[in-house]
Structure 1
Amino acid sequence: MSIDMIVHTEFPRGYTVLFGADGKVIMTPQSEEHSSTIRSMQIDSAAALGRHAKVTSDVYIDFPADENSAPDLAILREDARKEGKRYTFEDVLLISQVVSTSSARTDYDDCTAKYGRHGIPVYLVVDPYAQEVVLHTHKYGTGKLPIPLADGRTFTLDLDELPHAEPEGDAR
């Protein structure tokens, strides 16, 4: 099945559709936890950003090289404009994926690499099974990053002082 066919296919409501790098298409019904978690994030985003903020759920966003995504939640820049029928990755301020039993590897590994590669400023992995939220954000040279520790202390990492490695042939 070509990417164009997949992108224009209407999948059944209530299912999460994942596209693996190996060409597999995985359809799985959403669990109550998955659905409720997305709804909670939608409510929180409306409360924080206003009900007319550009926040999408399960809506395709164009990425280069046909790596399109329909994240569980995406917050877009207020001035974002669709190119054709979709927004582009350049409009994204935050993407969040809610982990399901079938998507854990994709959400933690594949999506983290993809969103980092394309410069998504904030990627949030929300895992109702492990009961954890993993936040991927800061870049080198953006000041100090305070990291709260479990015992109440704070470890502060100075991002301006981190060494820069020379890129290798196939490195990101």
Structure 2
Amino acid sequence: MSDLIERGAVPDGYKVEVFDGRVIMTPQSPEQDWTVSDIKDAVKAAGIARERVFGDVPITFPGENDAAPGLTIVAFDAERRRNSYSCIDVLAVVEVPSEPDDEKDYVRNVRKYGRYGIDFYVIADPFRKMVTMMSEPHASGHGRVVEVPYGRPVEFTLASGERIKIDTGTFPTREVGGG
């Protein structure tokens, strides 16, 4: 996947991931882009340098397929490896589902991100109008799951001590089956 990205073989507006040996190419919706943009603004407001925050950049997982989360926050000393980072440097991941009840975001990524010790996994779901925040990672997922309806703030403190507060009142919503 990294080689495809470096060669510019991914069409604009698409997200490409390899999952369970399959290449998944998903067009990005405006709702996904706007939500990630709002969250990036909140992360910047928390004083986190832009060099530690990015979207759709490959994260490597030993022995497994890379992931390219909608938004990733890495540690101060994270080491860039060409155009990717290692999962051991990831403090938090945010995903915005492209379809209702997306199995990749709600099942497979929960397990993967928990198994690799990613402290915070946040799903901002425009279909459910809900933010699901997972913490306390373990071998099969996360021990703590908190759901917050859009319109209420989401707050968490990274392992680095930085506190992030996200105003979900500006998050766009999307109807099931709607464009």
- When normalised by structure 2's length, the TM-score is 0.69
- Contact conserved, 2:44 with 2:50, CA < 8 A, in 1? yes
Name whichever structure is richer in strand by fraction: 2
- SS in structure 1 at match of 2:33: helix
Inter-partner Cα distance in structure 2 for 1:132 and 1:149: 6
Greater alpha carbon shift after TM alignment, 68-77 vs 12-21: 12-21
CA displacement at 1:19 relative to structure 2: 2.6
Higher relative contact order (CA 8 A, sep 6+): 2
In structure 2, the CA distance between the partners of 1:85 and 1:15, relative to structure 1 (3 Å rule), is: closer
Greater alpha carbon shift after TM alignment, 90-99 vs 6-15: 6-15
Tell me which amino acid in the other structure corresponds to 1:14: G
Indicate yes or no: 2:21 matched with 1:26: no
The corresponding residue for 1:7 is 2
Q: What percentage of residue pairs aligned between the two structures are identical?
A: 33
Structure 1 stretches (4+) deviating beyond 6 angstroms?
A: 147-150
The corresponding residue for 2:115 is 117
Cα RMSD, aligned residues only: 2.5
Inter-partner Cα distance in structure 1 for 2:101 and 2:29: 12
- Contact conserved, 1:53 with 1:78, CA < 8 A, in 2? no
Give structure 2 stretches of 5+ with no counterpart: 139-143, 150-179
Residues paired across the two proteins, number: 139
Inter-partner Cα distance in structure 2 for 1:64 and 1:16: 21
Matched ranges for 1:36-47 at <5 A: 36-47=34-45
CA displacement at 1:84 relative to structure 2: 4.7
The corresponding residue for 2:128 is 130
Inter-partner Cα distance in structure 1 for 2:137 and 2:39: 24
CA displacement at 1:85 relative to structure 2: 4.2
The corresponding residue for 1:170 is none
- When normalised by structure 1's length, the TM-score is 0.71
Inter-partner Cα distance in structure 2 for 1:11 and 1:74: 20
Give structure 1 stretches of 5+ with no counterpart: 1-5, 151-172
Larger Rg: 1
Greater alpha carbon shift after TM alignment, 11-20 vs 36-45: 11-20
CA displacement at 1:117 relative to structure 2: 0.7
